[in-house]
Structure 1
Amino acid sequence: MTQPTHWLRRGIAALASSVLMLSFTAVHAAAPQIKTQAPGFYRMMLGDFEVTALFDGTIDLEVKKLLTNTTQAQVGKLLDRSFKKELVPTSVNSYLINTGSKLVLIDTGAGSLFGPTLGNLRNNLLASGYKPEQVDDVFITHMHGDHVGGLIVDGKLAFPNATIHAGQEDADFWLSKANLEKATPEMKGFFQGAQASLNPYVEAGKFKPLTGAAADLVPGIKAVAAHGHTPGHNTYVVESKGQKLVLWGDLMHVASVQFVQPQVTISFDVDSKTAAAERKKAYADAAKGRYLVAGAHLPFPGLGRIRAEGSGYAWVPVDYQQVR
């Protein structure tokens, strides 16, 4: 067979190149933007315990207006340093602890109480491989709606086999009909959300308040009073094989401001002076102990450590890695 002439070889090459270019162009032009995110869970081991962070969603907060014991100018400078604007996307995180004998959920997200950007905990729990009916105990840091709203789904118990635990002081305050009736218009929603979420469990005999200094609630998990943000706000300490994780709840809200300036409080605090003192104590202990902490409103998964830095602290998030 004779070899192709020079012009024929050039023609074949040009044709092939054109077809290839058209193919790539067509594929590129046809690919739509997906605009969805991966399921919101992150898993790690703490000794023998499996810890799964669950993402409920984010809500934009006007932190300049909400933060107290500071000035809007100071907050603005700190936000700008962290590339934040007026509205700060704020995560709502919960944590599932599998001890091997108990499945414990710390906080439940907002459910349907805060609109469409929150309320994703149930779907992310399922995506993580667990079912709501497997949860044995739910420990609530405090009874604000973004922590208890997920207790109810379509008017039914979201965790039908679980016992719900929260501070007695919070139960006395937020579940009181008298307090609801005399609350200011701004506060009524807090009481209504707590009562709609907790009362069905109270009526079903599935609510057990926490009182005083709690021993291990389940082996390896205990409550520590950290009142101030609410009257019965608790943190939870999880320990296994010498490893420690402290679940802070709402000891802090805005990482870019309150790590640098721990004295800064937020208008959601029932007792801001006490809340600030508890935050400072928790920061100092975590920095000294070098143990893991988790924050309900730190950027998801909200797990990391802190170190002292000048007159404040710096946040060091966990590295994303395989479970081991």
Structure 2
Amino acid sequence: MRFHRLFFDRVVAAAALFSSAMPLTTEVAPPATSPRVAQARAQAPGVYRYRLGDFHVTALSDGSVPQELHELLRGTSPAEVDKMLHHAFLSNPVEASITAFLIDTGSRLILVDTGAGGLFGPGYGGKLLGSLKVAGYEPEQIDDILLTHIHTDHSGGLVNEGNRVFPHATVHVGGPDLDFFLNPSNQGGVNGYDKKYFEEAVKTVGPYVKAGKVRAFTRETQLFPGIKAIPTPGHTPGHGFYRVESRGESITFIGDIVHVAAVQFPKTAITIVYDVSPKDAAAQRETQFAAAALNRSLIAAPHLPYPGIGHIRAEARGYTFVPVDYRDRYQP
């Protein structure tokens, strides 16, 4: 108490001295203004256009979600994960983009994946239709949808309250995913793989199956001129890539071959709980990263930082993702 009393006495004395030295005045000091506070604002809809030969590719943001990597990653430790995140100027949890891609061939409008729709709840995904509108398109214009696989953050945008969002679109997807996720006997879950994946598959892909608007592929298949489906099982049984080529240029949409760039590029053996077959997913990642690095292929992935388009470079150990140069100008 003695310290507090001494401090108080000195403040009072200083105030008395200050007031006695001030001239008398009738002016009133202006009222103190409240400090300005930065106002939260939502991001503008994500639209990024990329020219590929005669085609236009548009990355459409569906939003982003935080990922608690200590709980999700397998074949590693929290300490190892934190070390790699620190190297990449990140910390756990890490924000993951959810990106869909629109291909305008001039004769068809083709969507690669559809984001999460409303299945993750308010504030987590569900921005695809807004991004699509900003890009100048409506859901009714979409001719085809290429699903890299049947997981909620890729097929969730197919429906809204049980109705097809893209009424004229045909869905293309790997046959083994249809057989696995829509099999009635699997709806309770399989070998510890949670039943929610199967229930959500029925909700999202089911209406298109009933409408006769689903086409499956089981091998490398030329879907349209310049667009090829390539099975890459591991993450899911029917996971697939889509390679798009026009006038000597190409891009490959690689789906969920990678979830966390800062971790899985340097160490391809690290898997995630979403993998149906972790061993096969890790092997597929190493194989495909090596091929893309060797061929200097352009790739696009939905969970890499938006817009998720770039190249894979081989390092002494592991790989690095190199984003494409940003362009903000008219490209006819």
Query: Aligned with 1:42: secondary structure?
Result: strand
Give the superposition deviation at 1:80: 1.3
* Residues in 2 aligned to 1:183 and 1:287: alpha-carbon distance in whole angstroms: 35
After TM superposition, the structure 1 = structure 2 runs for residues 193-232 of structure 1, keeping only pairs within 5 Å, are 193-214=200-221, 216-232=222-238
For structure 1, which segment, 47-56 or 34-43, has the greater mean C-alpha deviation from structure 2 after superposition? 34-43
* Residues in 1 aligned to 2:289 and 2:192: alpha-carbon distance in whole angstroms: 34
* Residues in 2 aligned to 1:213 and 1:300: alpha-carbon distance in whole angstroms: 28
Kindly name which structure, 1 or 2, has the bigger radius of gyration based on alpha carbons: 2
Summarize the Cα distance change of 1:98–1:183 in structure 2 as closer, same or farther, 3 Å threshold: same
Give the superposition deviation at 1:186: 6.2
Report the counterpart of residue 274 of structure 2 in structure 1. Answer: 268
Give the superposition deviation at 1:290: 1.2
Cα deviation, 1:101-146, whole Å, max 9, x if unaligned, reads 1111000000111122211111111111011111110010000100
Report the counterpart of residue 7 of structure 1 in structure 2. Answer: none
Cα deviation, 1:302-322, whole Å, max 9, x if unaligned, reads 001111111111111112112
TM-score normalised over the length of structure 1: 0.88
1:123 equivalent among 130, 133, 158: 130
| 1:91 matches 2:118 | no
Contact kept, 8 Å, 1:102 with 1:218, in 2: the verdict is no
1:293 equivalent among 285, 288, 299: 299
Tell me which amino acid in the other structure corresponds to 2:131: N
* Residues in 1 aligned to 2:59 and 2:44: alpha-carbon distance in whole angstroms: 14
Share of identical aligned residues, percent?
A: 47
After TM superposition, the structure 1 = structure 2 runs for residues 1-324 of structure 1, keeping only pairs within 5 Å, are 33=39, 35-116=41-122, 117-183=124-190, 187-214=194-221, 216-321=222-327, 322-324=329-331
TM-score normalised over the length of structure 2: 0.86
* Residues in 2 aligned to 1:143 and 1:65: alpha-carbon distance in whole angstroms: 22
Contact kept, 8 Å, 1:303 with 1:317, in 2: the verdict is yes
Give the superposition deviation at 1:213: 2.4
Tell me which amino acid in the other structure corresponds to 2:160: V
Identify unmatched segments of 5+ residues in structure 1: 1-21
Cα deviation, 1:139-180, whole Å, max 9, x if unaligned, reads 100001000000002321110011011111000000111101
Tell me which amino acid in the other structure corresponds to 2:235: H
Give the superposition deviation at 1:287: 1.0
Give the superposition deviation at 1:34: 5.2
For structure 1, which segment, 38-47 or 204-213, has the greater mean C-alpha deviation from structure 2 after superposition? 204-213
Cα deviation, 1:229-271, whole Å, max 9, x if unaligned, reads 0000001101111111010100010000111111111111111
Give the superposition deviation at 1:33: 2.6
Contact kept, 8 Å, 2:218 with 2:231, in 1: the verdict is no
The RMSD of aligned alpha carbons is 2.0
Instruction: Provide runs of 4+ in structure 1 moved above 6 Å.
Output: 28-32
